[in-house]
Structure 1
């Protein structure tokens, strides 16, 4: 054994002297195999723990061996630290690995006696429940120091009961399990302890149940989680608990990391800073290198405040380790690289000093010693000639931390807008009429404000000048203010939104612009304030199909099939938030019309596909699976069921308020029974899937409905069955369908369900549409249907005389162009089958030109007219305005459309546009 290194170790630690005196033989054996000279891997530490406990079943013997192992390892770590044979990161990782291994073996040892007495803990989901151990604080971040407590939280996945003779509920079992785990590690014996265990970070702290279910923890964090708990959960890590533990931890991430840039973290940090400063003064702990000014805690706070503000949008900032995140802050440009280096240097120095303090007597303390003897021991360990020389370096490092901390968490300066609000009010009054002024007065002096907590009122008063300034700068201040006031009322209790809009001027300006353009968007945000979470974090790019699918799948992952209410809520908010994102991109980024329609159609298709899968699983869970017409068992991977979209969704031309025209088709053996306990026929199974689908999509809840759905285009309309077999659909279309039903089929497209059935439908659609038809008969039938629509839905003669034009239904409007495209397919696809390929009007007209059925000029003119009219219809939908517009503004466009209508469909019509 290296005598010089041994002397330095014993000089660094009185605790090491005691360990050597008791366990000299064991320590000499450890040294002999070079364990003092090399770093240990996670696997090696686990092997040490397993070897120490080999075949031990007696509790006292188990506790003794674990404590002896801890003493041996502690001697090794103090030796390495005192002789500069390790670094802070390696040492803290090894200490954390030992804590993890100790928790795992203690948990395993504690389980057997409990299970023998009470049986296995069985959840209501039928699975054996595991004790999920969550490491918090330094252990969670794998940054444990030489004499750390370990902060733990115990949880389990599902409530239930044990299956033994002395039956108890799962929670009570896990509480007993956790208590024994703590005893095995924490209890002080003649051999010491393994780890001190602190459970105070659990929900409600001391006095609450020692173990909590996944559902109860989720409810606690969403309803009662406090700001300081967000900081605590940053470092949370699952030590044991497998898949269920990972899912539980995933559930906590939205509580910690808000999806938007969370400026409220600054205010919370200021409050915590003031609280810590008061505590430092009260306890006179300026010499505490963790809690004192410029200490370890301040470095961690600097990192954590950036994590909480930006971690939701910059996922790399969600790492648990302080130094890793510090480097990420430099990489993403949130901290200057020189500042990162200064803080890293200070942090590593302070952690090294912390280890030197704790090595002295194996005590959980970060205070510098006052006595000469321990000070001299520390100086020998750290390599300084005098205490003053050491303090000089320490104070230099701390001063750099203090500067950065004060710079970041500085007290908020008086808001200049609030100071000059009188001038703003005068400007606002100049642009408001009397009714608007009265509404503002009623808002500030009404009952709603009197019931608000004082803090909420203060935040509202701080927010108001910022809103007024943004409103005054808008194109229509009165309209913007009056549309936004209901939204402000709906969120003034959730003041986090107000703080964010104060801190993020750009978000407030975008919100004001959206309000000016679209009352519909304001109404959506007012009725469903949760959508503000999405709005404030939007990048105003149109959502991509893959991202939509991934997002919805993730949101539904933890929800049981039986929890219909939660399933419906997720479906509704998914649709609303993404349609809102499209609207924001439409208004603020001026996205092209076709791209907007594509995105709205993608949202609908993902909603339909997901809902169909849920409806199918729910029905199969109750009744088992049916057979398809070829005798093959259906399953979730072989639905033998498809959803066909007609109209706007079929034509990939959805607007903001569009409903969905859907038809359900199946490929099941209608007579064969399903294979479940409550078996039903294949026909009834298909019906129940369709009914469940309709229920999930259209039931009115507090979150609205997903979509309005119209199924009247199915065979035989409202008189027909809700879902039909592919064979019956084929027979109906070939033998009984009217021409207008084939017209509707032009804009039909399979949008969800079994891929092979969808292919069969597309082939059938093409076969039906490409049948040879008499052009004159098609022209007559199309004209007859168009006239019916004009009579029922178009502007009246009086309105037309008054210069009103219905953008969609009147002559020269959108429907005329749609009917001409449908006529082209029905009349000409018999000889030009490519015309039946697409379901959207633009590509049908383009293909008609390619086939020389229309001239290129005519097709281009119709497409341009169609796109300009549709773009205006989108704008009107966003503005909650009628489709009836000023006819004079659309004269030239209508003339072009009506002339082509006369040439293609109705030679007898008169082109007379006023």
Structure 2
């Protein structure tokens, strides 16, 4: 029991300004006497003398005492909002549970109270009940375990139990009532019974539920009855609530509810006497919607955001960086004040009202709160209402002017938006509106289109190539099977429309990927998508999900697809240096190799066991070996294994080591390359293995070493200069590195490296000419020539033996074996190659707008500077290559 003088003041205010509390004080004289002495009873003592009463009356009396105890603790400032709402919510849980137990016992006295659960939604679900709240449960039952009378169907029994529960809680007598119960949040309340089987509910939420119905489960909790049954249901329904590839219709639906509330309660939106604290502009609902919209957007990817209570959600969002910390704190303060004053309003007459009263009644509420008059309570609320409205308005701005359906007016709007040839854009939009494309046939799709069109047109009109952007968007929409989520995403995140305009203007490669897999765009909702990707270990942890092997394959493809798409977008948007992006592509690929190789080995060993004293090593060569991929790069891999090649695996279906590792390598190659429902991954090239396509897919490390030392050709040793182990234990990787280092430093057949390289380069030039005038790789003086020069010097000197081309050149420059300008040449040619693979994969000059992008990516002033730099760089590389070739013995 707590003693405090503010309790006496609170009792005085309650008697004077709250008719309801005044009556309760009269009807509970013993408790009133305790309070008037400055003592506050502990919550757990309120029902100690009621245990012998019939359950319904006991609950009514406990609720009356709880209302008094909570009100005085609140008015005295001894119980904060959390304590108040938790006390009210916990009582609701107990009462609901007691009613369920009683309803079952009345019908089947000897049966255990199981098979029937109440899922709390709304403020009971988040333990935030109002002082005079009703509760919004969903009644579910398990037909197998629900106690039934003889020859009674479970469905019938469940409905009767549910009706009895409601009767117990809502019945009024001279002692009042327990709780008001609202069952309208159950699935299709106009046609469904008040209690549903768990399976029927799951089926509804999986396939038929409206977005707002799924969003309601943000605050869902198994509150009473068979808690284990409710927990299983909530776990099963979770994937339909928290979606990684979010149904952005849910966000639009929540915003639509907010707008309808604003319209319907227009009188309550003008701040002043009569203001609706719950539904008014800048009120309680807008704080809740603000939090829930962010939770729906990000909670599918971040489980830490799936917290039901509004203030907890805001704090979690701020901690995760999705909401500004100061704004979140301001909303928490506002919500706390709004709910506190709302409780004062409800304490007056124990009515579920949310409006500030008018006239003298508002003075009474102010004095109940301890303020002087109505003006004081309004001034206390006003800044918080304004700040909340501003926060929500920024999240959900007023609708833009819609685009006209009149052809001439639409053309005029498009012309003003920036479309030079407004007729082309007009034709495209009319085509979309006609619903001839499969993705735009449904009313929902066309509604989503209209909602996003104004912002989309504005963004595309400001794009570098508005005409090209809208034509590519048209091609994309023509290929989609559904466009609703895509439009909802753009509506929910208007800034993404600018990125879409850049992608469609510049990067046909990305636009084609988006047309095939529009869910790739979801990855851009995370602001960190335009940051450099994480290290390989972090990426691998992100990819390592999936309950089974197929799920793991699908998950890796989703993550890799999103990461590669985001990396391409970084170049198009100018967010990152192409050299940084190139390294990022390689880290993503290396993480995918690690995760899928591990998963495949685990899967394979289930049938064939493992080869004792042996393990698989994956060696990357080419651009992957050098850790610098482009968007279109394939992966050059060699599979090796350690140990005795004559050994045998120890599984149920044993295999000899050679066959074991060849089959395993085939499985890994398939895991890395075969498309699944989540899309393709990488093209795998294993032709650089010993003996090429004529040799086995996997060879022992011993065989590999012998081949490289005795039989490999010069071109194979040149390829080895960019080899790097990307899978295997540290000891196995070190063993491979030792073999490679020994071979490159001279433990190989004596050959005329320069002569062999010259012949090989001539053959390559004859059979693989440049794609176009901008082919940074194959043009004379391009990257291939630079690589040839580097590899010839490496093999002749044993210096600069680093698989990363830039690091190798830096070492050769430091040793005086390469001109200093080769570093800049490598950087320029790599940036050009990585950028053009996205925006001009045919190596032809792109459109003027894209030429500007390329110049910016290369850090140059304009397109003329790009061409001049390409000519100069090629001449420098060609000169050095000629010098290296001329230095042959």
TM-score band, normalised by the shorter chain? 0.7 to 0.9
Q: Distance in 2 between matches of 1:748 and 1:883?
A: 28
Determine the structure 2 residue equivalent to 1:527: 516
CA shift for structure 1 position 459: 5.4
Q: Distance in 1 between matches of 2:486 and 2:452?
A: 10
Determine the structure 1 residue equivalent to 2:686: 711
Q: Distance in 1 between matches of 2:415 and 2:369?
A: 66
**1:846 matched to 2:850:** no
CA-to-aligned-CA distance 1:14-54 (integer Å, 9 cap, x gap): 79988998x999x799999999356x7xxxx6x999x999x
**1:824 matched to 2:793:** yes
Determine the structure 2 residue equivalent to 1:347: 339
CA-to-aligned-CA distance 1:607-640 (integer Å, 9 cap, x gap): 11121222223234x337425317xxxxxxxxx3
Distance 1:777 1:505, change over 3 A: same
SS in 2 for 1:656: coil
Determine the structure 2 residue equivalent to 1:357: 349
Q: Distance in 2 between matches of 1:671 and 1:134?
A: 62
Determine the structure 1 residue equivalent to 2:833: 873
> Comparing 575-584 with 334-343, which one deviates more in the overlay?
334-343
Check conservation: 1:862, 1:897, Cα contact below 8 A.
Answer: yes
**1:36 matched to 2:44:** no
Determine the structure 2 residue equivalent to 1:635: none
Determine the structure 2 residue equivalent to 1:296: 278
Determine the structure 2 residue equivalent to 1:560: 547
Q: Distance in 2 between matches of 1:160 and 1:768?
A: 72
SS in 2 for 1:643: strand
Determine the structure 1 residue equivalent to 2:879: 899
**1:597 matched to 2:582:** yes
Determine the structure 2 residue equivalent to 1:415: 401
Matches within 5 A, 1:53-132: 76-77=69-70, 80-81=73-74, 85-98=78-91
CA-to-aligned-CA distance 1:80-105 (integer Å, 9 cap, x gap): 35766534332212333455677899
Q: Distance in 2 between matches of 1:585 and 1:692?
A: 33
SS in 2 for 1:665: strand
SS in 2 for 1:905: helix
Determine the structure 1 residue equivalent to 2:855: none
SS in 2 for 1:447: coil
Q: Distance in 2 between matches of 1:671 and 1:203?
A: 64
Q: Distance in 1 between matches of 2:657 and 2:172?
A: 69
CA-to-aligned-CA distance 1:220-264 (integer Å, 9 cap, x gap): 667545343365234345776699899768746645996999984
Q: Distance in 2 between matches of 1:643 and 1:551?
A: 18
Correspondence for 1:515 among 491, 501, 504: 504
CA shift for structure 1 position 650: 0.8
SS in 1 for 2:518: coil
Determine the structure 2 residue equivalent to 1:127: none
CA shift for structure 1 position 196: 6.5
Determine the structure 1 residue equivalent to 2:633: 658
Distance 1:82 1:866, change over 3 A: closer
Determine the structure 2 residue equivalent to 1:125: none
Distance 1:692 1:493, change over 3 A: closer
CA-to-aligned-CA distance 1:259-290 (integer Å, 9 cap, x gap): 99998478514443157549x9xxxxx89x9x
Distance 1:555 1:189, change over 3 A: farther
Q: Distance in 2 between matches of 1:674 and 1:183?
A: 65
Structure 1 residues without counterparts, runs of 5 or longer: 122-130, 163-170, 281-285, 631-639, 910-914
The Cα RMSD (Å) is 5.9
Q: Distance in 2 between matches of 1:8 and 1:334?
A: 35
Structure 2 residues without counterparts, runs of 5 or longer: 146-153, 846-865
Matches within 5 A, 1:196-207: 200-204=184-188, 206-207=192-193
Determine the structure 2 residue equivalent to 1:272: 260
**1:861 matched to 2:821:** yes
Check conservation: 2:103, 2:165, Cα contact below 8 A.
Answer: no
Q: Distance in 2 between matches of 1:464 and 1:586?
A: 26
The two structures have a TM-score, normalised by structure 1, of 0.72
CA shift for structure 1 position 667: 3.9
Distance 1:100 1:364, change over 3 A: same
Matches within 5 A, 1:169-318: 200-204=184-188, 206-207=192-193, 210=196, 212=198, 224-229=208-213, 231-236=215-220, 251=239, 254-255=242-243, 264=252, 267-273=255-261, 277=265, 293-298=275-280, 299-311=283-295, 312=297
Correspondence for 2:742 among 767, 770, 777: 767
Determine the structure 2 residue equivalent to 1:882: 842
CA shift for structure 1 position 606: 1.5
> Comparing 691-700 with 745-754, which one deviates more in the overlay?
691-700
Q: Distance in 2 between matches of 1:64 and 1:643?
A: 74
Q: Distance in 2 between matches of 1:484 and 1:364?
A: 51
CA-to-aligned-CA distance 1:494-532 (integer Å, 9 cap, x gap): 456446646866433332233222111211122211122
CA shift for structure 1 position 379: 10
Q: Distance in 2 between matches of 1:225 and 1:35?
A: 50
Determine the structure 2 residue equivalent to 1:791: 766
**1:743 matched to 2:705:** no
Q: Distance in 2 between matches of 1:900 and 1:411?
A: 60
Matches within 5 A, 1:796-807: 806-807=775-776
